[in-house]
Every structure is written in structure tokens, then in C-alpha cells.
A and B are shown apart, each in its own frame.
Chain A
Amino acid sequence: MEDPAYGVCTCRGKKRRGLLESLIFGLIGADTHSLEAETTSALPGLLQGVDPRLKLVSLLALIVAAVSTQRLTVLAALFLLAVGLAVVSQIRLARLVRQVWIGVFLFSGVIVLPALVLVPGETIAHLPLFGWPITLQGLRSASFVIGRAETAATLSLLLVLTTPWPHVLKALRSLGMPAAVVAILGMTHRYIFVLMQSALQMAEARQSRLMAPLDGPARRRLMLTMIGMLLSRTLTLGTEVHAAMIARGYRGEVRLLDEFRTRPSDWAFLLATLAVAATILGGRL
């Protein structure tokens, strides 16, 4: 049975979200994630205190080392290093489990599952029900893929959670990314929230006037209308923002203020991570 007030199916004790409800919850969720990331980037942790440019280089070096290593023990050590960095940066492990580890494990696990039985080698067990042989080499290959994905994703998330997004962009700019690309990414980040707010208000306004549940075609029509409205608002906003840029002297070339200052501890962190990466890469570990 449908709840006419919200368009929510409460049949068989299960609550299914309607299209609009899902949209509203999705937008609120995205904004909440963003707010959480901003909060963690302001915590007094180890990574939060490192210069964003050097931090970016350091974490990239560790990611390269993780995807290049030929030893599972080294990969495990890098993963533990990432976990350690999370702990000293006040990132809760539960958050890493929820946001990275489960998702990456399931995604990469599905991809590498066939390798367990398809890679030839020494049989160590048999797949239940099917009886297919699981090989040591297959298990090793699957472990490498999952381990590399987990480590790289953890290090990437650490960068995002410990660095305000504008600083990530400026760090990229310092490393040679064109100013125009950085400006576009910055404005995208800025206006995605304005448009998200706009979409949320549209969805709520429609939801508040919904007297009865909508059928499939009506829901799709509603969604298309909202997308069209949002696109129209985006174009208007884009024109206005361009006028605001012109009004403040924009002449086609973006100039950015570099506000970073490195300290000895930043360089020490960079050297330490580069040493780890160089040891792994150079020693072919």
C-alpha cells in the first residue's frame, strides 16, 4: 500500500523510497559527506598539518609504490602504513571501512573472482558446490589486485579527507596543472552546491504538493522537468557569474594566489615517503 502523503510504499513491512525522496536523501547525503570531509580536514592530525603540495606528491609516490610492488608482504606493509597515517590523522577506521574498504573489496572482488579458479597452479582448495579448484597462484593474483586497490583508494581518501578541496586544487596547480583547469574545477566545486541546493528545494517544493503517489511515466516526466529546469538555471547562473567575473577585471586569464608555506616537518614527511617508495621501486620489492 502506498502512503499518499509521501509516495512511499510500505507494503510487506518494507519501506521503499519514492523517486523524489531518493533524490532528496541523495542530495542531503552528498552535502553531508562534503561537510564531513571539510570537518576532518580541519582536525589537528599529522596529514592535515602537511603542506598540500608535498602531501600530494608523497601520497602519489606511495600509491605508485603500492601498484608496483611484487611482494604481498610489502603491499600489506603499505596498507598498514596507510592505516597508521589515518589513525594519526584522526580519521576513524569505521569511516574507511564504510567509505572505502567494503566497496572496493566487493567491486574488485567480483572482478578478480574468476582468477581464483582460472589461473593455473597448485590447488589449495575447491570451490564449494562447484568443486572447481582454487589455485595458490590465482589466490595470489586476486590478493594483489584487491590489496593494490584497497591501498590506493585508502591513500586517495586520506588526501581528500585531510586536505580542503581548494588546497588540493592549488596543489595540483603548483605541480603544473593549467590555471584554467584548476579554475574550472574550483568553480565546479563551488557551484555544484548551489545547484544541489536548488535541486533540493525544487524536490522539496514538489514533494510538499504531492497528494498521491505518481505512476512510472509521471515520475519520469517529473524528473525530466526538474533536469530541464536545473539546466535552465545553470545557464542563467553561468551567464551571471561570467558577468561578475568581467566586473572584477577578468580578461580571459585566471590568476591564482599561492598561499602555501612549507616547514621543515613537511619536507621530512616528503623525504620519508619518497624513501619508502624509492626503496620499493628501486629494490624491486
Chain B
Amino acid sequence: MSGSAFDFRDVVYAYRSQRALDGVSFSIGLGERVALLGANGSGKSTLLRMMDALVFAVGGTALALGGPLTEAAFAEEATNFAFRQRVGLVFQNPDVQLFNPTVLDELAFGPLQLGWDTARVRRAIDAMLDRFGITHLRDRSPHRLSGGEKKRVAIASVLITEPDVLLLDEPTAALDPESRADLVAFLSHGLREGQTVITAIHDLDIIDHISDRSIVLDRGKVAADAPTLDVLHDIDLLRRTHLVFEHRHSHGIAAAALHGHLHAAPDGGATT
């Protein structure tokens, strides 16, 4: 698939006087699978929100799917409507994402807002419940679901509208190992071919499964933009951007050995 999903040039965003994004530039093509890496406070979530037109740049140029990503452009109903049909964001906290009283209502929300007819909505709900193995949760309230179930419902509620671009904010946060493994398997093999997937994450263990390219953010700036495997093997970069740290205990070497992708660490003392 050709064309650009996002094209950012010297983008700036600030919370009051604090710059969350400071001259960010990159281009992401349609169909790419990209990880946004960075420690807490690096600007990942802000960037993801900007890509979903929830916040807008105060400096620089941001384009999404060929159109300007500006407040003025999104004040137009038609622009907003067309964009929401093509871009979906899964929030980090499922309790934010799941605001409807039942799982069924949650899945129905997006399609209904986009004007789908009810027969199509019902068919899509049944398909999505089946695809995610959550048919048994259909009438359950989100507050009665486990963390893994909530995450699956949250992703299903976004994917149901079949967006061309899927944005994920820390999808593995607070998941137990089994739920995390299920999610990684889904993100690796369960998504539509050609779908653009951008994942904000600081969990280095899984990024080579879910992305081919990584953009590393550090204090609001792009510190690196390279193939994911190259980023994973650049220990100096990972240390500099606080994505790995020196293990302070004697079992550091053993811990590093458990992570195959860190075998290249020069002193064996780095771990995630």
C-alpha cells in the first residue's frame, strides 16, 4: 500500500509552558507497523493523541492521511467524520475506553456514531465477539471484566469500525503474562493485512513482534527512527533514552540472558 498515513514536520505541542513535543518530524506510510518507544513522560501518549486529532500542534506541520491535522480542519463536520472512519485509538486505560453499560453497547457505539444501519451493526458485533472470543461477555458490564477481558473489548470496540489506521497506547500495560501473550499474538497475526498500526509502548520484550520500525522519543524529541531490530541492538540508545537501565545486582547477567534480544549487550549487564 502506498501513500502517507502521517507526515509530521517540526511539530510542537506544549502543556502550558511544558513542551511535550519539541520539533518532532517523521513520516509513516500506509500499512506500516511502527512502535513509538520512550520512557514515561517522553511524549508518546501526546503524540498518539495528536495522531488521533484529540490535541493539535501549536507549531510545525502535521498531516494525517493527506489532510491537515489542525483544529480548524477538524471543526469541519465532514473532515472529522471521514477521519474517525479511518483512524481508531485504543486508550491505555480501558476504564476510559469502555464507557458504555455493557460490552454489546460498547461495540455498537462506534458504528452507530458513524451512521451504520442497525443490521450492519449487529452483524459486525457478532463477528467481532467471535473474532475476539468474547461472545460470553456480550451482556456483561465492563466493571465486572478482568484486565485482559477489558483490553480485548477495548480493542474490539475500535477495530469494529475497520479503521485503516490503528493507534494503540501501551496495550500491554497492567496485563498478566497470559493476557499479554494473547494480545501480542493478536497484534502479530490477527490484524488485517495492510492496516497501519502504531503502538506507543515501553515494553521492549514485544516490540519486535508487533513492529518493523521504531521511533524513539526522548523528552519530546525524536531520538531515533530506525528498523526495530536495529533499535533493540543499540544499547547506548536504549540507555540514553532510559529504556534500559544498568542492573545493580549480581543477577544482572542472568536476567539479561533471559532476554534473547539483549544478548548483544556489550557488558551483559543491561536488561529491560
Q: Which residues on A are within 8 Å of B, measured CB to CB?
A: 35, 38, 164-166, 169, 186-187, 189-191, 193-194, 197, 237, 240-241, 243-251, 255-259
Contacts and interface: CB of A to CB of B under 8 A. Distances in A.
A257 B95 CA distance: 21
B80 A248 contact: no
A137 to B, nearest CB: 48
Interface residues of B, number: 39
B191 interface: no
Given A194-B95, A237-B96, A247-B88, A186 B101 contact: yes
A189 B97 CA distance: 15
By secondary structure, the A interface counts as helix
B112 interface: yes
B139 interface: yes
A193 B158 CA distance: 23
A169 B99 CA distance: 15
Contacts of B143: 190, 193-194, 197
A194 B93 CA distance: 12
Contact of A256 (B54, B98, B105): B105
Interface of B: 49, 52, 54, 77, 80-81, 84-85, 88-89, 91, 93, 95-102, 104-105, 108-110, 112-114, 118, 121-122, 139, 141-144, 157-158, 161
A187 B113 contact: no
Given A187-B100, A190-B100, A249-B84, 12 more contacts: A38-B144, A186-B101, A243-B49, A243-B54, A243-B96, A244-B97, A245-B99, A247-B84, A248-B113, A250-B113, A251-B113, A257-B122
27 contacts: A35-B144, A38-B141, A38-B144, A166-B105, A166-B141, A186-B100, A190-B143, A191-B99, A193-B143, A194-B95, A197-B143, A240-B93, A243-B54, A244-B91, A245-B109, A247-B54, A247-B88, A247-B91, A248-B113, A248-B158, A249-B84, A249-B110, A249-B114, A250-B113, A251-B80, A256-B108, A257-B121
A257 B99 contact: no
- Which one of B93, B96, B97, B99 has the highest number of Cβ atoms from chain A below 10 Å of its Cβ? B99
Contacts of B108: 256-257
Top 3 A-B residue pairs of the complex, sorted by shortest distance between their CB atoms: A249-B113, A166-B101, A255-B112
A166 B143 CA distance: 13
B177 to A, nearest CB: 23
B101 A190 contact: yes
Contacts of B118: 257-258
A186 to B, nearest CB: 4
Given A164-B139, A190-B101, A257-B108, A248 B84 contact: yes
A259 B126 CA distance: 13
A257 B91 contact: no
B91 A240 contact: yes
Nearest to A240: B96
